[in-house]
Amino acid sequence: MSLARAIATVGGFTLLSRIVGFVRDIVLSAVLGSGAVADAFFVAFKLPNFFRRLFAEGAFSAAFVPLFARELTGGGREEAMAFARQAQAALLLVLVPFTALLILAMPWVMALLAPGMRDDAPTFAMAVEFGRIAFPYLLFISLTSLYGGVLNGIDRFAHVAATPVLLNLTLIAAVLGLTPLLPNAGYAASIGVAIAGVLQWIWLLVACGREEVGMALVRPRWTPRVARLVKLATPVAIGGGVQQISVVLDVVWASLLPVGTISALYYADRIAQLPLGVVGIAIGTALLPLLARELRAGNTQSAMTNQNRALEFGLLFSLPAAVALWLLADPIIRVLFERGRFLPEDTLRTASALAAFAVGLPAFVLVKALAPGFFAREDTRTPLYIALAAITANVLLNVYFLFATSLELVGIALASSLSGWLNAALLATVLRRRDQWVPDGRLISRGLRIAGASAGMGVSLWLGLEWLAKPLSRPDIEGGVALAGICLIGAAAYALAGAALGVIRLSELRYVMRRQPNLKSADPGEQP
């Protein structure tokens, strides 16, 4: 499967998930609002997500996928699956006691995660209860991530990409169906998180069975392959932990600010995550196994070309998305969330955070395209050192913005964006110095043209904001129609500017979406 086709598959299903996720967040904002219950739930939800990104989607995935690709190439599917089952056993050996320990220690964990809540006993108690209910999600979503690595390794991207839809649908059903039966909507949402983890696990377990890559339980054994996995995963786990410290610190800083800051950051981040999820995560998911196979087969030039195309693809969508989110932050938040318990003042706070997150959006996407260049070469230490530099910058920026300026909420989001740019710049610099990545003429040329087309789109959006100012100020159907209209204006402007500047050509799009049979694999018959 070509890189572009793989990205399109993952991105398409991720887009579907994000659309359903918007519906989820609209429901949550209307029922939870942006107050104490919302803050308590979002803090509790952050906890399993923190460890999910650390263990499952971070260290384990980055270390497992290249090793799985090596086993596929060198020993065939049976050897690769034997390794995957050993990895599953090792993962369960760690996660089962860890999950139980964290549930028991939840009061102390919440005290560290949200120290500002300790002064509000009822809110703190809710956060502890919500955390205990939701935390088992970690165990099941970690297994889901492992199964996803197996399926992605054999170029079966659709099942994995569709999985997050279950989380969003389950949360919607839980909030709407269980809230009348429970003390508040936070309990319903927390139960929905736990149930979603189970459903996602079952979904991919069945998918693995259908693809004849069954994940039966085996007895944990310390084998050379497991030792190699641990050796590679440890630096990534440390690095991921360092990166996730910024996420935790965002919650810590926000807990010190007025009530509603945590939930405002959550809603803003959710909107900013749409292009990152659709494009960035799709690129990272599709690129890592492809690079691992090509480098294993000695196709270094092909690997470099694919990385350049991944970077180009990321810029094609992330630059205009960043411009649009920065300019349209206020009407987007107003139309999507301003109803029920979500008030106009919540809109202003959340929109300001969204604009700040938009500044870093292209950087976050570029990181997803650059990091596989290290992981595919089984180099997990360098991204660790770079992550340490980025998190140090994030902490220093947060301290400056929060204590030396009046930015408050905006400062937290802006610090994340600027540290993201530092992360991307350092990854690119190291790869370039090692001659493991050289930006080709097409990437440079297209990047400049994409920037020009994005600027043209920005002008059209600015004019549209002036023209549609009155309807865009309304959080109703009229406002929604106006928002849809200005988005269409922006998309049309970007398409026209892109066509005029030669950003993308239809012939090239047709070419990259074709299957490429020349990618080497130990078992070509298994290619889709």
Domain residue spans in the chain?
3-516
Vertex 472: Cα angle to 468 and 474 (nearest 5): 140
Number of Cβ atoms within 10 Å of the Cβ of 395: 16
Rounded to whole angstroms, the Cα distance separating 86 from 501 reads 52
Q: HSE of 56 in the Cβ direction (CA atoms, 13 Å)?
A: 22
Find all residues with CB under 8 Å of 108, minimum gap 6, and list them.
Answer: none
- What would the mean pLDDT of 290-302 be, rounded to a whole number? 79
Place of tokens 């929109």: 351
For residue 527, the model assigns a pLDDT of 26
CB contact at 8 A, 287 and 23: no
- What would the mean pLDDT of 199-217 be, rounded to a whole number? 82
Rounded to whole angstroms, the Cα distance separating 303 from 297 reads 10
Q: Please give the residue that has the higher pLDDT: either 329 or 237.
A: 329
Taking the chain, what is the end-to-end CA distance rounded to the nearest angstrom? Answer: 7
- What would the mean pLDDT of 376-395 be, rounded to a whole number? 84
Band the pLDDT of 526: cuts 50, 70, 90: very low
Helices (H), 179-299: 185-210, 224-255, 261-275, 282-296
The answer to whether residue 292 scores a pLDDT higher than 60 is yes
Rounded to whole angstroms, the Cα distance separating 319 from 450 reads 7
Give the DSSP per-residue string, 129-177.
HHHHHHTTHHHHHHHHHHHHHHHHHTT--HHHHHTHHHHHHHHHHHHHH
Q: Please give the residue that has the higher pLDDT: either 267 or 3.
A: 267
Nearest in space to 149 (alpha carbons), one of 236, 80, 65, 53: 65
The answer to whether residue 434 scores a pLDDT higher than 70 is yes
Rounded to whole angstroms, the Cα distance separating 27 from 406 reads 32
Give the rounded distance of the alpha carbon of 98 from its chain centre. Answer: 24
Rounded to whole angstroms, the Cα distance separating 439 from 312 reads 10
Question: Which residue spans within 329-477 are E strands per DSSP?
Answer: none
Number of Cβ atoms within 10 Å of the Cβ of 389: 14
Contacts 24+ apart (CB under 8 A), 501-509: 501/449, 501/452, 501/453, 502/449, 503/316, 503/446, 503/449, 503/450, 503/453, 504/316, 509/4
For residue 473, the model assigns a pLDDT of 87
C-alpha dist (Å) from residue 317 to 37, 310, 385: 35, 11, 29
For residue 39, the model assigns a pLDDT of 85
Q: Which of 133-142, 231-240, 247-256 has the lowest mean pLDDT?
A: 231-240
- What would the mean pLDDT of 506-510 be, rounded to a whole number? 51
The token duo for 355 is: 């604009």
Rounded to whole angstroms, the Cα distance separating 11 from 9 reads 6
The token duo for 102 is: 């964290």
Total-model pTM: 0.68
CB contact at 8 A, 135 and 106: yes
Sign of CA dihedral 74, 79, 85, 91: negative
**3-state SS string over 81-101?**
HHHHHHHHHHHHHHHHHHHHH
* pLDDT per position as a tens digit, 36-46: 888 889 888 88
Q: What is the mean pLDDT of the chain?
A: 81
At 476 the three-state DSSP class reads coil
At 122 the three-state DSSP class reads helix
The token duo for 442 is: 């097409």
For residue 239, the model assigns a pLDDT of 57
C-alpha dist (Å) from residue 306 to 5, 275, 285, 334, 428: 12, 21, 13, 40, 15
Rounded to whole angstroms, the Cα distance separating 46 from 248 reads 8
- Helix-, strand-, coil-residue percentages of the chain, each rounded to 5: 85, 0, 15
Rounded to whole angstroms, the Cα distance separating 87 from 59 reads 13
Q: What is the DSSP letter of 351?
A: H
At 312 the three-state DSSP class reads helix
Q: Which of 67-76, 289-298, 385-394 has the lowest mean pLDDT?
A: 67-76
**Most trustworthy range by pLDDT among 31-45, 240-254, 444-458, 472-486:** 444-458
